[in-house]
Each structure stands twice: as structure tokens, then as C-alpha cells.
A = this chain, B = another copy of it.
Amino acid sequence: MARRTRERILETSLAMFNAAGEPNVTTNHIADELGISPGNLYYHFRNKDDIVGQLFARYEQRMDEALTAPQQRLPDLEDVWLQLHLVFECMWDFRFLYRDLVDILARNRTLRLRFGRVLERAAGAARQVLHGLVESGAMRASSSEIEALVESILLIATFWLDYDAVRHGATREQPQRLARGIHQVMLLLAPYLREAERAHLTGLAGAYRA
């Protein structure tokens, strides 16, 4: 039962962190929820940070996969949408990380560096896709415009869930929250798109009202 318990602790921790925020979930809460003793939990993990660290490793791996551009060809808008979808679903599954991002990273130097690397990778992926869209003629933008876009995309993606929570509470359902975030990122590209793509994109706007 060893691996199983360790695994259950990770799963339950993730669920509870996501639901209530990592700072508000104690090791005792987790043990209680699982019906095991706090001592048992500490048999499997050195401390709470260890649990967070293990979850972060999974997050990292998942995000790396989402950011790995498998395209052998130039990307189109559909590819962008798909990749954003993978990224946003990963962020959703590990949303506890984003909810208290500054605090969590401030308390853990290692996570700060690792998250910095994730952001770098994301910036690289975004840069590459945008240049691809320019190359294929789907969009027109200078290098400096692309750099500004990359920064805006990263920021909006990173904090979308927080923004949405603050602005609209927990009223919304998960699929719509993600869809709105993805749409919001896509809209950043709109003014740089060729007429056809632009019209198609703004046509979708109606589906994401308030």
C-alpha cells in the first residue's frame, strides 16, 4: 500500500489546494480528509513543501508537454487555439499554484527558479508560433510588436484564473472560464491578423459574452 498512500496524499493535496488555496490547507487537513494520521503523512513526505514540490514537478512536466510545439509545418490559428487549450487546462489542474503564486514562489527559492524556466519556455513557444503566423502570412507584425505580444500573452495567461475569480467570483463553470481566457488571449492577436482570420476570430466573440 506504500505507493498507493503516497499517491493518494498527492491527489488529495492537489484537490484541496485547488479548492481552498495552498496556504489555507494544513497537513492535518489533508490527513483528516484521507482518514490517515498526520504521522503517516509525514512518513511519506518530509514536510508540506515537499508535497508542493512533488506537485510542482508534475505541473512542470505537463506544461512542458503542452509547450512543446510538435508542428513540422507553419502553425495556423487552429493550432494556436489547440495549444492554448492544453496550456490552460494544465493551469486549471494546478490552479492552486497561480492563486498564490507570488507567496508560494517567495517562500521557495527552487520553485522560483523552476517557474522562471517555465515562463521562459512559454515565451519561447509563443514567440515561435507568432513568427510562424507572420511567416505564413496569417498575420503582420514587427519583431518588437511580437515581443510586446509575447509579454502580454504570458501575463494574461498566467493571471487569467485569478482575474476571472476576482472579477466574476466562482460563479462560472470551468469550461467557460477557460474558454474565455483563451479567447481573451486570442483577441490580443486580432489587430495583427489578416482580414479573413480577424473576421473569423471576432465572429466568435459573441459566444463569450460576460
Contacts and interface: CB of A to CB of B under 8 A. Distances in A.
Interface stretch (A28-36, A60-68, A145-153): A145-153
Question: What is the oligomeric copy number?
Answer: 2
Nearest to A120: B167
A159 interface: yes
Determine the main DSSP class of A at the interface with B.
helix
A55 to B, nearest CB: 18
A39 B155 CA distance: 43
Interface string A149-168: 00110111011101101110
Contacts of A187: 148, 152
Contacts of A99: 102-103
A117 to B, nearest CB: 12
Interface size class, chain A: 35 or more
Nearest to A160: B155
A47 interface: no
A140 B152 CA distance: 21
Contacts of A159: 155, 158-159, 162-163
Contacts of A156: 152, 155-156
A145 B189 CA distance: 11
B160 A103 contact: no
A21 to B, nearest CB: 6
A140 to B, nearest CB: 10
A92 to B, nearest CB: 15
